[in-house]
């Protein structure tokens, strides 16, 4: 042991030499990087050049690592360190529903996006970040946003101009927070009523889905030459007709399930709305998590590349859905290769973006993904970023936020609510309720509940039951709109002890909020507490009006013969007074069910 000290000293010397070498290496790398950055020809920043020219110019300057990062769409909460945005050259971030800033205010959203954008500027090429959210019925992840009726209600209203104006209003609230990418419209054609996503759709009819979907896209994107807010028609394709019980997700039944229809049906019923959207300038399309004839869409080269890109001429980028590229029945690296080779251009989402980058490097080294495919994907993404004006836009300022749920937006949402109310039954001239009515009793779990009337994708992915968001409940709406001489009283359980007399009683009942496969339900029906509340009301009144808040038809057959009027209200959102407007005849009933709602039986 007498040489112990000497061995230790040599070891330490070697170690520090190695550390010094590493340090020098790092300095050398950053010096090289610095040189690369300062010697850059930044002519792609010249806004007078076409998006195509500018995209080519950026692409030709990108390293492989930068290209790999450009293809990633990561979830905001998976970002381990803000500086990883620039370190891994990440091209896009999304707020999975519920991933919001604290506090959840429009101001905090604006600040959050601005912080991320500043970090992205710390790169040589300064390629702006694309930030996406699911503003499917307004910018509804933000507390204080205008919550419009879900798409199923807009389909009942079937007013194209209205849909366009709603998309424009949503775009205005998005832009005020610095967000230019919306995962909407939903172009699924809903044929399976037990699916938890029926309400996100424009119903069962391909024509309706196409025409309203396209109108929404127009409203968001604005002119065809420069895009205002990027729309994302989804989910390609056909989950609306998937087979019950075949979902790849063990907790779901229809969502992410297998579709067995023929190619003819697939094309005529389900691909058609996407064809129209592409003709109208769709620049990003989301690939569904479902399968067609047992092959997942995420790896379906025929449908993604041959049909969408080559046959239908889609020139934008295809983004996979939530973790879709890793959900294929192979190990991760192979799944990723299959998805990208099938045509996926942007990968949602590598939670672990470091592992994703390393996998992509290996796949490219081995030639499992070609440089050509890599360049094609990145070119598509860059072109859209230029068409969207991301390189040239001014960041929003505080005063832009005044647009949130402003009077115009509230009026617009209320108009949409009025137009979507669908009268399914009306006997004894029960509706509209005359102004001379002296007393009205209101009951039901959805009467005084903004969460229920807004449904899923409101603040949280699964929505929130209760009064947490700003807005007007249906009960408040009834109180506002009823004539000043009408007394309106509310008991959720419908039990008004000692109060025997009321001309009209209104039950507002319905589904609890849900989203995606969580809402798959073998038997969509009225909950027992609402059944009891309606019974209480019925026992003591001549005229009973039932309003159903739901995302799909509920089985009312056992009870409807006892009701004088039945209104399908769908999921009206934050402006509940629109329901009252039609109840009292301030606006006519014009809604028509966009899906089959049989009063006799539900499929
Ligand atoms: C849904 C998509 C949504 C995405 C991002 C997925 O779970 O299927 O519709 O756009 O999440 O939030």
Does residue 234's CB lie within 6 angstroms of at least one atom of ligand 1? Answer: yes
Whether the predicted pLDDT of 71 surpasses 70:
yes
Q: Taking the complete model, does pTM exceed 0.75, yes or no?
A: yes
Neighbouring CB atoms inside 10 A of 117's CB total: 17
pLDDT of residue 500: 67
- Using the atom order of ligand 1, give the atom closest to the CA of residue 289: 8
- Please give the distance, rounded to the nearest whole angstrom, from the Cα atom of residue 2 to the centre of ligand 1: 67
The span from the CA of 593 to the CA of 198, in Å, is 13
Cβ–ligand 1 contact at 323 (below 6 Å): no
pLDDT at 3 over 70: no
Contacts of 210 (CB under 8 A, 6+ apart): 187, 272, 273, 276, 277
Give the Cα-Cα-Cα angle 566, 158, 280 (nearest 5 degrees).
155
What tens digit of pLDDT does each residue of 122-136 get? 888 999 999 999 999
User: Distance between CA atoms of 585 and 434, rounded to whole angstroms?
Assistant: 8
Task: Find out whether the beta carbon of 88 lies less than 6 Å from any atom of ligand 1.
Answer: no
CA of 350 to the centre of ligand 1 (A): 14
Taking alpha carbons only, the member of 271, 324, 265, 346 closest to residue 302 is: 271
Of 34-43, 373-382, 488-497, 579-588, least confident by mean pLDDT is 34-43
pLDDT band at 5 (very low <50, low <70, confident <90, very high): low
* pLDDT score, position 603: 44
Which pLDDT belongs to residue 19? 47
Phi, psi of 449 (to 5 degrees): -150, 95
Cα–Cα distance, 508 to 223 (Å, whole number): 41
Do you find a cis peptide bond into 54, omega within 30 degrees of 0?
Answer: no
Average pLDDT over residues 69-88: 96
Sign of CA dihedral 196, 198, 199, 201: positive
Q: How many CA atoms lie within 13 Å of 414's alpha carbon, on the beta-carbon side? A: 22
Q: What is the pLDDT of residue 4?
A: 54
Looking at the DSSP bridge assignments, the partners of residue 93 are: 74, 131
CA of 515 to the centre of ligand 1 (A): 10
The answer to whether residue 566 scores a pLDDT higher than 70 is yes
Say whether pLDDT at 28 is over 80: no
> pLDDT band for position 367 (50/70/90)?
very high
- Which of 183, 232, 323 has the most ligand 1 atoms within 8 A of CB, as the residue to mutate? 183
- Does ligand 1 come within 6 angstroms of the Cβ of 322? yes
Q: Report residue 24's pLDDT band, with 50, 70 and 90 as the boundaries.
A: very low
**Per mean pLDDT, which range of 82-91, 119-128, 136-145 is the poorest?**
119-128
**Between 426 and 33, where is the model more confident?**
426
Determine whether 19 is exposed, middle or buried from the number of CB atoms within 10 Å of its CB (0-12, 13-18, 19+): exposed
| Residue 575: DSSP 8-state | B
- Residue tagged 């039986």 (tokens): 601
**CB contact at 8 A, 240 and 195:** yes
Ligand 1 close to Cβ of residue 321 (< 6 A): yes
| pLDDT tens sequence across 216-251 | 999 999 976 789 999 999 999 999 999 999 999 999
SS (H, E, C) 504-567: EEEEEEECCCCCHHHHCCCCCECCHHHHHHHHHHHHCCCEEEEEEECCCCCECCCCHHHCCEEE
Question: Could you give the angle at the alpha carbon of 444 between the alpha carbons of 253 and 597, nearest 5°?
Answer: 45
Closest to 478 in 3D by CA, of 404, 405, 569, 555: 569
Q: What is the mean pLDDT of residues 395-414?
A: 98
Q: Which pLDDT value is given to residue 302?
A: 98
- Residue 322's SS3 state is coil
CA of 321 to the centre of ligand 1 (A): 6
Q: Percentage of the chain with pLDDT > 70?
A: 94
Predicted pLDDT of residue 14: 52
pLDDT bin (cut points 50, 70, 90) of residue 268 is: very high
Peptide bond into 432 cis (omega under 30): yes
Quick check: 1 pLDDT over 50? Answer: no
The encoded tokens of residue 260 equal 């067995």
The predicted pLDDT at position 92 comes to: 98
Give 392 Cα–ligand 1 centroid separation in angstroms.
28
Q: Which of 354-368, 447-461, 487-501 has the lowest average pLDDT?
A: 487-501
Which is higher by pLDDT, 335 or 23? 335
Residue 36 has pLDDT above 90, yes or no: no
Q: What is the mean pLDDT of residues 264-274?
A: 98
Report helix, strand and coil shares of the chain as percent, to nearest 5.
45, 15, 45
User: What integer pLDDT is reported at residue 601 of this predicted model?
Assistant: 63
Between 354 and 123, the more confident residue is 354
Cα 500 from chain centre: 46
Distances (CA, A) of 587 to 419, 431, 433: 8, 12, 12
What pLDDT is attached to residue 542? 82
The DSSP line for 72-135 is EEEEGGG-S-TTHHHHTT--EEE--TT---SS-SHHHHHHHHHHHHHHHTTSSS-PPPEEEE--
Cα separations (Å) of 364 from 73, 226, 333, 346, 368? 19, 33, 11, 16, 6
**Predicted pLDDT at 223:** 76
**Helical H segments across 257-352, by residue range:** 263-265, 272-279, 301, 332-342
* Enzyme catalytic residues: 321, 516
Provide mean pLDDT across the span 504-520: 97
| Contact yes or no for 414/138 (Cβ under 8 A) | no
Count of C-beta atoms within a 10 Å radius of residue 442: 25
% of residues, the chain, pLDDT over 90:
87
């Amino acid at each position: 042991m007498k040489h112990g000290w000497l061995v230790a000293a040599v070891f330490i010397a070697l170690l520090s030499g190695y550390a010094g070498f590493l340090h020098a290496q790092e300095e050398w790398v950053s010096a090289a990087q610095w040189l690369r950055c300062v010697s850059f020809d930044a002519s792609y920043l010249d806004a007078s050049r076409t998006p195509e020219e500018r995209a080519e110019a950026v692409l030709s300057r990108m390293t492989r690592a930068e290209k790999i990062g450009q293809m990633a769409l990561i979830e905001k909460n998976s970002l381990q360190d803000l500086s990883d945005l620039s370190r891994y050259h990440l091209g896009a971030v999304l707020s999975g529903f519920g991933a919001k800033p604290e506090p959840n205010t429009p101001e905090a959203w604006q600040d959050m996006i601005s912080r991320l954008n500043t970090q992205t500027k710390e790169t040589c090429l300064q390629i702006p970040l694309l930030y996406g959210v699911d503003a499917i019925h307004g910018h509804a992840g933000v507390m204080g946003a205008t919550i419009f009726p879900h798409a199923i209600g807009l389909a009942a209203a079937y007013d194209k101009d209205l849909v366009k104006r709603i998309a424009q209003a949503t775009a205005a609230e998005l832009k005020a927070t610095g967000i230019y990418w919306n995962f909407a419209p939903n172009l699924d054609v809903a044929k399976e009523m037990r699916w938890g996503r029926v309400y996100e759709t424009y119903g069962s009819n391909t024509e309706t889905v196409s025409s309203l979907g396209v109108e929404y896209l127009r409203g968001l994107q604005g002119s065809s030459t420069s895009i205002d807010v990027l729309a994302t028609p989804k989910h390609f394709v056909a989950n609306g007709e998937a087979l019950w019980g075949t979902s790849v997700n063990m907790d779901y039944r229809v969502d992410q399930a297998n579709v067995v229809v023929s190619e003819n049906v697939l094309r005529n019923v389900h691909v058609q709305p996407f064809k129209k959207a592409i003709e109208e300038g769709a620049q990003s399309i989301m690939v569904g998590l479902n399968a067609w004839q047992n092959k997942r869409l995420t790896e379906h080269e025929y449908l993604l590349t041959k049909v969408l890109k080559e046959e239908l001429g889609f020139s934008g980028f295809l983004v996979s859905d939530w973790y879709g590229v890793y959900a294929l029945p192979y190990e991760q690296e192979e799944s990723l290769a299959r998805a990208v080779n099938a045509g996926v251009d942007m990968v949602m989402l590598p939670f672990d973006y470091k592992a994703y980058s390393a996998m992509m490097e290996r796949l490219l080294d081995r030639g499992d993904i070609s440089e050509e495919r890599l360049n094609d994907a990145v070119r598509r993404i860059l072109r859209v970023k230029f068409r969207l004006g991301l390189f040239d836009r001014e960041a929003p300022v505080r005063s832009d936020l005044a647009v949130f749920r402003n009077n115009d937006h509230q009026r617009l949402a209320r108009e949409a609510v009025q137009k979507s109310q669908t009268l399914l039954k009306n006997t004894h001239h029960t509706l509209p309720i005359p102004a001379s009515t002296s007393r009205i009793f209101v009951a039901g779990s959805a009467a005084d509940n903004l969460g229920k009337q807004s449904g899923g994708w409101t603040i949280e992915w699964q929505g929130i039951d209760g009064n947490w968001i700003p807005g007007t409940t249906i009960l408040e709406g009834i109180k506002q709109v009823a004539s000043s001489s009408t007394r309106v009283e509310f008991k959720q359980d419908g039990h008004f002890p000692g109060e025997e007399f009321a001309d009209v009683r209104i039950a507002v009942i319905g589904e609890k909020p849900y989203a995606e496969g969580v809402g798959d339900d073998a038997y969509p029906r009225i909950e027992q507490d609402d059944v009891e509340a309606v019974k209480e009301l019925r026992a003591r009144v001549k005229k009973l009006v039932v309003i159903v808040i739901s995302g799909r038809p509920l089985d009312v057959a056992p009870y409807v013969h006892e009701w004088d009027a039945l209104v399908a209200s769908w999921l009206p959102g934050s402006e509940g007074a629109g329901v009252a407007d039609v109840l009292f005849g301030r606006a006519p009933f014009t809604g028509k069910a966009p899906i089959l709602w049989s009063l006799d039986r539900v499929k």
